A and B are shown apart, each in its own frame.
Chain A
Amino acid sequence: MSQNTDVILDVEKVTKTFGGLVAVNDVSMQIRRGEIFAVIGPNGAGKTTFFNLITGIYKPDRGSIRFDGEDITGKDPAWIAARGMARTFQNIRLFGAMTALENVMVARHVHTKTSYADALLHTPRYHREEKKALERSMELLEYMQLGHRAQELAKNLPYGEQRRLEIARALALEPRLLLLDEPAAGMNPQETEELQEQIVKVRDDLGITIVLIEHDMKLVMSISERIAVLDYGKKLLEGTPKEVQNDPRVIEAYLGRGAVEGAQ
Chain B
Amino acid sequence: MFEVLISLLPSVLLEGLILGFVYAMIALGYTMVYGVLELINFAHSEIFMSGAVAGAETFILLKGTIANPYLLLLVAIIIGGAVAAFVSVSVERLAYRPLRKRGTTNRLVPLITAIGASFFLQDLVRLIEGLWNNAFYRRYPTFDAFERTYNLPVWLGDIVIILSLFTFFFAIVYLIYWVGVRLARAKQKRPTRNTLYALSGLSILFTVLFSLKYREVLTTDMGLSIQMKSLLVIVVSLAMLFGLNWLVNKTKLGVAIRAVAQDAQTASLMGINPDVIISRTFLIGGFLGGVAGVLFGLLYTLVHPYVGFIPGIKAFTAAVLGGIGNITGAAVGGLVLGMLEMLGGTYLTFLTNGAMGTEYKDILAFVILILILLFRPQGILGQQVGEKV
Contacts and interface: CB of A to CB of B under 8 A. Distances in A.
B219 to A, nearest CB: 47
A107 interface: yes
B255 A82 contact: no
B247 interface: yes
Interface in B232-264: 247, 251-253, 255-256, 258-259, 262-263
A57 interface: yes
Interface stretch (A96-104, A189-197, A210-218, A234-242): A96-104
Given A77-B265, A97-B387, A105 B271 contact: no
Contacts of B266: 89, 93, 95
A87 B255 CA distance: 19
A98 B266 CA distance: 14
B259 A98 contact: yes
A125 interface: no
- Chain B's interface size range is 20 to 34
B68 interface: no
Given A93-B263, A97-B262, A106 B255 contact: yes
A81 B268 contact: yes
Interface in A52-111: 55, 57, 76-79, 81-82, 86-87, 89, 93, 95-98, 102, 105-110
A77 B255 CA distance: 19
Nearest to A154: B262
B133 interface: no
B270 interface: yes
A81 B271 contact: yes
B269 A81 contact: yes
B220 interface: no
Interface string B63-79: 00000000000000000
Contact of A105 (B252, B262, B267, B274): B252
Interface in B266-280: 266-274
Contacts of B267: 95, 106
B252 A98 contact: no
Interface stretch (A21-29, A112-120, A143-151): A112-120
A130 interface: yes
Contact of B272 (A87, A93, A106): A106
B274 A78 contact: yes
Given A55-B269, A78-B272, A96 B255 contact: no
A98 B258 contact: yes
A107 B268 CA distance: 10
Contacts of A114: 252
Contacts of B251: 119, 130
Contacts, number: 76
Interface in A122-177: 130, 133, 169, 172-173
Nearest to A87: B269
Contact of B256 (A86, A106, A169): A106
B258 A97 contact: yes
Nearest to A83: B271
Contacts of B253: 116, 119
A109 B257 CA distance: 11
Contacts of A108: 252
A78 B255 contact: no
Nearest to B253: A119
B256 A109 contact: yes
Contacts of B269: 55, 57, 77-78, 81, 86-87
A110 B259 CA distance: 13
Given A77-B265, A119-B247, A110 B271 contact: yes
B252 A107 contact: no
A57 B265 contact: yes
Among B252, B258, B271, chain A packs the most CB atoms within 10 A around the CB of B271
A130 B252 CA distance: 8
A110 B258 contact: no
Contacts of A102: 255, 258
Contacts of B259: 95, 98, 106
Contacts of A57: 265, 269
Contacts of B263: 93, 95
A173 B271 contact: yes
Contacts of A86: 269-270
A131 to B, nearest CB: 12
Nearest to B276: A78
A76 B268 contact: yes
16 contacts: A78-B268, A78-B269, A81-B270, A86-B269, A87-B269, A97-B262, A98-B258, A98-B259, A105-B252, A106-B255, A106-B259, A107-B270, A108-B252, A109-B255, A110-B272, A119-B251
Given A57-B265, A79-B273, A81-B271, 9 more contacts: A76-B273, A77-B269, A86-B269, A95-B262, A98-B255, A102-B255, A108-B252, A130-B251, A173-B270
Instruction: Give me the 8 closest cross-chain CB pairs, A-B, nearest first.
Output: A81-B271, A110-B271, A78-B273, A82-B271, A77-B268, A107-B270, A78-B268, A106-B259
